[in-house]
Amino acid sequence: MRTGNWLTRHDEGHAMRVAIGDLARAAAAPGWSRLVVRHAEVGSHAVTTLLRDGREIPAEGMREPFRRLRELSYRAGAGTWFTCELAFEPRSRRYAGRVDSSAQPFADVPATAALAELTTFSRETPPGWLLAALPTAPPLPLPFTYGERYEGWRHDPGEHRRLQPLPISGALDYVPDTTMTAHVMACSREPGGQLVFLAERDGDPDSPFLMVSTSRDTWYVGRDGMRGTGEGLLSVTLDGSALRLELTPEAADLMGTETVFEVRLDLPPETAAELRAVLPRMLGPVTGAPDLSGF
């Protein structure tokens, strides 16, 4: 499971979900068409089920990322979710699912688990089944603030704003990007480094973009939304009017894309020729250079 300095609790929450997907894929024999992970947790009592095409198979290593997801999703006064279900598709980084913060997650809730839940994740209106499971009177909640290091971060690179909290009820859906269309290109060169910038719209700060930069013997690929990576770019292919990037799963998750991301080039001929010349010159000499073809 990847660890790192995420900018927001949403970034870390997303990283936990894709890590769960990777654990599910590792546990399933090849040839599956759908994997579903269901995790139910109250206090310290948890049950995880992994289904491969509807049949249960053993699941290992998922307790920690689910535990962290519950912490990141916690809302003061509202608690966190009790049940999370995630579904994964083959040959894709996509996931979809639901979280639920009110329904009873399993038939028998241990009294110690109910006590730990309301102590750790206090809520103003606990569901009746949780109160009924308590051994005595409701506990005194402790002043936990999960993910507090994110509260000072804001999302916009310029005038930042707070993100909405992670969901504790309702649908979850992540659809990685597969393509963008570049209508404009800009290049810059400085001592020891170069940059290529491809964007859908000229002069629009909200336009989707792809940026490739090098600094001495290192490289970086970035996208809009402060997403990017300096490792895991396997190949760059120029195929007619398409620029195709092949990424490792980890790099794709950082980029918010599938493992193959295509930039459709709608550029003037002279600009396309400049791109064809400059990318190999930039990426060829760097450490860990991707395979280059079609240039």
| Sign of the CA dihedral running 72, 74, 75, 81 | positive
Tokens of 97: 């699912």
Least confident range from 44-48, 143-147, 245-249: namely: 143-147
Q: Give the pLDDT confidence of 65-103 residue by residue, as tens digits.
A: 999 999 999 998 899 999 999 999 999 999 999 999 999
Least confident range from 59-63, 210-214, 284-288: namely: 284-288
The confidence score (pLDDT) of residue 205 equals 86
What are the two backbone dihedrals, phi and then psi, of residue 232, each rounded to the nearest 5 degrees? 90, 10
Tokens of 248: 């490792």
C-beta pairs of 37-40 under 8 Å, 24+ apart in sequence: 37/62, 37/85, 37/86, 37/87, 37/88, 38/83, 38/84, 38/85, 39/66, 39/83, 39/84, 39/85, 40/82, 40/83, 40/105, 40/106
Q: Is the model more confident about 191 or about 22?
A: 22
With bands split at pLDDT 50, 70 and 90, how would you rate the model's confidence at 157?
very low
Domain spans, the chain = 9-174, 177-293
- Angle among Cα 153, 155, 157 to the nearest 5 degrees reads 100
The confidence score (pLDDT) of residue 13 equals 94
| pLDDT exceeds cutoff 60 at 155 | no
Q: Give the pLDDT confidence of 95-118 residue by residue, as tens digits.
A: 999 999 999 999 999 999 999 999
